[in-house]
Amino acid sequence: MRLLVLLWSLGPLLWQLRTSLLRPEALVAPLLEGSPWTLANYQLVLSGDPPFWRYLSNSALVGLVTTGLTLLLAVPCAYGLQKQRGPLRWGVGLGLVAAAMFPTVLLFLALLEIARSFGLANDLLALSLPYTALSLPLAVLLLRAAFADLPVELEDAARLEGLDLGQRLRHVLLPLLGPALASTGILVFLASWNEYAIALTWISRNDLLTLPIAIARIGGSSVFTIPYGAFAAATVLGSLPLLLLVLLAQRAIVSGLTRGAVKG
């Protein structure tokens, strides 16, 4: 059963990897002569202008700034919402769920107008503004749930010891929220890494493109053939940083869980 699940989720990735290593002719029919394997796809992708790592670093920059900004805003929001009582809390919570469910695609035209009138086009840092705004509802909801799971008495004990709000967050609450912060951060980073519509409309300069747009453009140069191999190679290269990130964060999440809670 586990094997089945593993195959189910890893299958497309492995197929992508295989495609990226095959010669284009080998994709449609078995080759009669010579080896079907090649690194040409990777050479093609990496030798582009600007070089591929440029797109990677563009995406990483936007992703990191988005994640940082989102967490920075979401933590106080989630804390405040968790402390709130009565109808306001309910209403804001409902509003956040609605915002988190709203289809992004409906927004990008309006966002484009905003970008135009504020001169935000072709600016990577500015791109992280809509990304942060779009990630915020979900991040606040996730972190609020995490705050709710912490025992109230922990914060009471800290208040009695004279810790002010900032100190309580820094020394008591946030260290305990480590795993939740890590998983929320990954989700936000992934959303930013994969985002297409806004990046497509906000960025036009070639050297500022983010990864999804850059990959889409690989196909743009040829009309009659679709360079599956190059697509696959770019996708594999684009997934590597994510793999690394998740592996690192996973360690943080797991070690956070084994720390032991308050329960007697």
Partner 1 sequence: MNLTPAAGLELRQLCRDLGERRLLDRLDLKVAPGECLALLGPSGCGKSTTLRLVAGLDPASAGKVLLDGEDLTDRGPGERQVAMVFQSYALYPHLSVEGNLALGLKVRGVPVRERQRRIEAILDLLQLQELRLRRPAQLSGGQRQRVALARALLRQPRIVLLDEPMSNLDAQLREELRPELRRLLCGREQPVIYVTHDQQEAVGMADRIALLEGGRLQQVGSPRELYADPANRFVASFLGRPAINLLAMEPHRQLGLRPEHLRLGDDGAVAARLQRREWWGHQQLLWLDTPWGTVRVLTAPETPLPTEPRLSWQRQHELWFDPRSGERLAHGRI
Q: How far apart are CA 75 and CA 11, in angstroms?
A: 37
Residues with Cβ within 8 Å of residue 62, at least 6 apart in sequence: 124, 125, 127, 128, 131, 192, 210
Q: How far apart are CA 189 and CA 131, in angstroms?
A: 10
Q: How far apart are CA 242 and CA 190, in angstroms?
A: 8
**Identity of the residue, 205 or 259, whose beta carbon is nearer to partner 1 in the bound complex:** 259
**Identity of the residue, 163 or 197, whose beta carbon is nearer to partner 1 in the bound complex:** 163
Shortest Cβ distance from residue 255 to partner 1 (Å)?
A: 11
**Identity of the residue, 82 or 201, whose beta carbon is nearer to partner 1 in the bound complex:** 82
**Identity of the residue, 25 or 164, whose beta carbon is nearer to partner 1 in the bound complex:** 164
Do residues 71 and 184 make contact, with C-beta atoms less than 8 angstroms apart?
yes
Shortest Cβ distance from residue 249 to partner 1 (Å)?
A: 18
Residues with Cβ within 8 Å of residue 96, at least 6 apart in sequence: 137, 140, 141
Q: How far apart are CA 254 and CA 79, in angstroms?
A: 23
Judged by the rule CB under 8 A, the positions of this chain that interact with partner 1 are 151, 153-154, 156-164, 167, 171-172, 175-176, 259-264
**Identity of the residue, 5 or 160, whose beta carbon is nearer to partner 1 in the bound complex:** 160
**Identity of the residue, 159 or 217, whose beta carbon is nearer to partner 1 in the bound complex:** 159
Q: How far apart are CA 33 and CA 102, in angstroms?
A: 53
Shortest Cβ distance from residue 143 to partner 1 (Å)?
A: 17
Shortest Cβ distance from residue 158 to partner 1 (Å)?
A: 8
Measured CA angle at 186 (ends 59, 10), to 5 deg: 90
Shortest Cβ distance from residue 152 to partner 1 (Å)?
A: 9
Shortest Cβ distance from residue 261 to partner 1 (Å)?
A: 6
Cis? peptide before 50, omega within 30° of 0: yes
